[in-house]
Amino acid sequence: MTQAVRTYKGFEIHPLVYPRRHSDEQTRRNPDAGYEASVRICRVGANPSADGRVFRLPHLWPFEGTGKARLACMAHAEQLIDGRVDGQTVADL
């Protein structure tokens, strides 16, 4: 599967979706447990691993599927880039 990367206002948005961890901290392949998500943001053309920053999505419940989690990543990243998330910024990237 190809990872979806989107650009927005000079930033690259890399959604990071992974299976929900259980209380024993082991990742299991159980799609019914849901998914959690984070998003890596970097400037266009930068090395995402070295020059980017990862932000975890504040979500009370796990996402039902990877598609919903990816959509939420994109929306959260846009809010971060627009400066609408208290306590988090991408201004120094």
Q: What is the separation, in whole angstroms, between the first and last Cα of the chain?
A: 28
Structure confidence by residue, pLDDT tens digits, 11-70: 999 999 988 876 665 655 666 778 999 999 999 999 888 889 999 998 888 899 999 999
Give burial (CB, 10 Å; 0-12/13-18/19+) of 77.
buried
On whether the CB atoms of residues 11 and 42 are closer than 8 A, the answer is yes
CB neighbour list of residue 75: distance below 8 Å, 6 or more residues apart: none
pLDDT band at 1 (very low <50, low <70, confident <90, very high): very low
